[in-house]
Structure 1
Amino acid sequence: MTLTTERPPASPSRPRWWRRPWVAPLAVVSAVFVAYSLPPYLSLDPAQSRVPAPDFFPPHFAVLSLHVVFGSIAMITCCLQIWPWFRGRYPRAHRMIGRVYVFGGCLPSGLLAVVVSVTTPFFGPVTAASGVVLASVWVGCTLAGWRMARQRRFVDHRRWMVRSFALTMSIVTNRLWGVVFFIALSPQLDTTFHGDETLLASTVAALSAWLGWVLPLLVAEWWLERGDAAKRRARARATR
Structure 2
Amino acid sequence: MKPTDKVSISVLVITGILAALSTIRVFPLGLDLAFSAMSHQLINARQMFVMHITAASLALVFGSIQIIPVLRNRYLSVHRGIGRLYALAVLLGGISGFLIAFQIDGIIGTAGFALLAVFWVFTTTQGVRFARAGLEPAHRRWMTYSVALTFAAVSLRLQLLIFAVGLAMPYHQVYPFLAWSCWVPNTIFALWYVRRSTN
Shared topology, TM-score over 0.5? yes
Residue of structure 2 equivalent to 1:165: 147
Which one of the candidate residues 89, 97, 103 is aligned to 1:113?
97
1:79 equivalenced with 2:64 (yes/no): yes
Query: Match for residue 175 of structure 1?
Result: 157
Cα 1:55–1:107, aligned 2, differ >3 Å: closer, same or farther?
A: closer
Given that 2:101 and 2:110 are in contact with CA atoms closer than 8 Å, whether structure 1 keeps it comes out as: yes
Conserved? CA contact 2:123–2:143, under 8 Å: yes
- CA–CA separation in structure 2 for the residues paired with 1:55 and 1:70: 17
Q: Does 1:61 align with 2:43?
A: no
Asked if residue 144 in structure 1 is aligned to residue 143 in structure 2, the reply is: no
- After TM superposition, the structure 1 stretch with the greater mean CA deviation from structure 2, 80-89 or 136-145, is 80-89
Change (3 A) 1:53 1:202: closer
Q: Verify: 1:26 aligned to 2:12, yes or no.
A: yes
In the aligned structure 1, how far is the partner of 2:97 from the partner of 2:136?
A: 28
Change (3 A) 1:55 1:134: closer
Q: CA deviation at 1:150?
A: 0.8
Indicate the RMSD between aligned Cα atoms, in angstroms.
Answer: 2.4
The 1:202–1:155 alpha-carbon spacing in structure 2 relative to 1, beyond 3 Å, is same
The residue number in structure 1 matching 2:82 is 97
Structure 2 stretches lacking a partner, 5+ long:
none
Distance 1:184 1:152 in 2: 48
Q: Which has the higher helix share?
A: 2
Contact 1:38 1:68 in 2 (8 A): no
C-alpha contact (below 8 Å) 1:52/1:120 kept by paired residues: no
Q: How does 1:6-45 map to 2 (within 5 A)?
A: 15=1, 20-40=6-26, 42-43=27-28, 45=30
**2:65 counterpart letter in structure 1:** L
Q: Is the 8 A contact 1:49 1:61 kept in 2?
A: no
TM-score normalized by structure 1? 0.74
- Count of residues in correspondence between the two structures: 196
Q: Given the two structures, how large is their TM-score scaled by the length of structure 2? A: 0.88
Larger radius of gyration: 1
Identity of aligned residues (%): 26
